[in-house]
Amino acid sequence: MMQRLLFATLFSVSVITGGAFAAGGVVKSPTGVAPDRYVYYPGTEVLAKDEIRLIACGTGLPAARRGQAATCFLFELGNGDKFLFDIGTGSMANVAALMIPYDMLDKIFLSHLHTDHWGDLATIWAGGWTAGRTGPLKIWGPSGATPEMGTKYAVDHFLKAYTWDATTRNAKLSPKPGLIEVTEFDYKGENKVIYEENGVTIRSWPAIHAGDGAVSFSLEYAGMKVVFGGDTFPNKWYVKFAKDADLAIHEVFLTPSELVEWYGQSPGQALGVGTQVHTSPPAFGKVMSEVNPRHAVGYHFFNEEGTRYGIYDGVRSTYDGPLSLATDNMVWNITKDKIVERMAVSPEDAWSVPGSTPPPPPPAPGTVPDPMTDWIKAGRWEPANKAQGDLVKTFKKEHGMK
Ligand SMILES: [Zn+2]
Ligand SMILES: [Zn+2]
């Protein structure tokens, strides 16, 4: 783990050129501290008013792997707002290790409805519900060419699929954090404002990816603009609306050869997926040369020895500006003066942290239908219940319960 982390850090620093600064500094004393670090320890730094902290919490692919979750970028702003852009499969384990109470993680923007971009909804929905979120989740997502291809349909049916989960939790927990509020916006909107509050403006425009209904986003705050492209073939909207962004995230996919060699795809499929459904490395570079961001971020590939150099060379054949090839837990602190890239270092066994608002009380007995029948209850084995008698008695005494 440490070895991989160290390598990722060194690599990420080595690909930075031009406008971004690596952390680090001269160590002047054998007993002193390093003036800056290559790492970010979650929960230990105050965010300045005009600063954006962006954390890659998922940068991989639909196929699961422990070292890299699927798409998720967390934006933390100096005004206290936090936004999750996509919540791909596996990403919530990275988010949960960042020492952020679930109450502060209730705003989610979805670029499209592939599982590698919203597959962890179940995790943040039910996990956050049990771990301290006090209100509903709020999701913003695109419409589709037909109602059933839109975000509202997807979330409605997600909740239907989890009827058993919600019904059984509702009997024991406050039902409020189990609600999801959906704001569905027109996927055809071109740089349209879909969110504007508290000095933050979020816009969307169409992406070209697998079917109508995928979008890209920009977030503007404190005079800066950060773009999250989601999944897309290079398109006229991104080139126009991402122009001169402070930081621009765009997918860059495995090369067709890598898809054949590493992902077991046939040459025909690899060429289609790698150059038509997604964005190839030279095409990514071409887009960034046109957009000319202060800093470009490519994501959406398993980032490792076997893949990254082919992708890097492809990007560099068409783009020579500041660049990160993202992997999970990469962090960018963005201000008007500089963009600093580091790696977040967080524990493998982090628990969620409580917020300042206690969870709402569970429903009063008898107010919610009991989802368990007497027939099942009659199967309880009482010797085990008796065996925990002392435990229950002591606990009640400790907490002043009757
Ligand atoms: Zn996709
Ligand atoms: Zn994807």
Task: Kindly report the backbone phi and psi dihedral angles of residue 170, in degrees, each rounded to the nearest multiple of 5, phi listed first.
Answer: -55, -25
- Signed CA dihedral, 21, 22, 23, 28: sign only: negative
Topology of domain 2-344, CATH: Metallo-beta-lactamase; Chain A (3.60.15)
Instruction: Collect all residues with Cβ–Cβ distance below 8 Å to 6 and sequence separation of at least 6.
Output: none
27 burial (CB, 10 Å; 0-12 / 13-18 / 19+) is exposed
Q: How far is the CA of 185 from the centre of ligand 2 (A)?
A: 20
pLDDT, one tens digit per residue, over 353-397 is 889 998 888 899 889 999 999 999 999 999 999 999 999 999 999
Q: How far is the CA of 65 from the centre of ligand 2 (A)?
A: 15
pLDDT of residue 16: 42
Q: How far is the CA of 168 from the centre of ligand 1 (A)?
A: 33
130 pLDDT above the threshold of 50: yes
Q: How far is the CA of 61 from the centre of ligand 2 (A)?
A: 6
pLDDT, one tens digit per residue, over 52-66 is 999 999 999 999 999
Closest CA to 261 of 317, 302, 316: 302
Q: How far is the CA of 160 from the centre of ligand 2 (A)?
A: 25
CB burial readout 362-396, b (16+ within 10 A) else e: eeeeeeeeeeeeeeeeeeeeeeeeeeeeeeeeeee
Question: What is the distance between the alpha carbons of residues 173 and 69, in angstroms, rounded to a whole number?
Answer: 29
Which numbered ligand comes closest to the C-alpha of 215? 1
Q: Residue 137 corresponds to which tokens in the numbers above?
A: 């989740």
164 falls in which pLDDT band (50, 70, 90)? very high
Q: What is the DSSP string of 106-157?
A: -EEE-S---HHHHTTHHHHHHHHHHTT--S-EEEEEE--SSGGGSHHHHHHH
Which numbered ligand comes closest to the C-alpha of 253? 2
pLDDT of residue 24: 67
Q: Which amino acid, one-letter code, is at 74? A: L
Q: How far is the CA of 62 from the centre of ligand 2 (A)?
A: 7
Q: Residue 372 corresponds to which tokens in the numbers above?
A: 């368990």
Which numbered ligand comes closest to the C-alpha of 299? 2
As a whole number of Å, the end-to-end CA separation of the chain is: 48
pLDDT of residue 361: 87
Question: What is the distance between the alpha carbons of residues 72 and 121, in angstroms, rounded to a whole number?
Answer: 11
In eight-state DSSP terms, residue 42 is T
Mean pLDDT, range 270-287, rounded to an integer: 97
Mean pLDDT, range 335-344, rounded to an integer: 95
Domain residue ranges in the chain: 2-344
Closest CA to 241 of 295, 169, 173, 293: 293
Q: How far is the CA of 383 from the centre of ligand 1 (A)?
A: 53
Question: What is the distance between the alpha carbons of residues 94 and 123, in angstroms, rounded to a whole number?
Answer: 12
Q: How far is the CA of 398 from the centre of ligand 1 (A)?
A: 51
Note the pTM of the prediction, 2 decimals: 0.93
Q: How far is the CA of 171 from the centre of ligand 2 (A)?
A: 36
Q: Residue 402 corresponds to which tokens in the numbers above?
A: 């009757």
CB burial readout 3-16, b (16+ within 10 A) else e: eebeebbebbbebb
Q: Residue 153 corresponds to which tokens in the numbers above?
A: 């349909």
- Percentage of the chain modeled with pLDDT above 70: 94
Which numbered ligand comes closest to the C-alpha of 254? 2
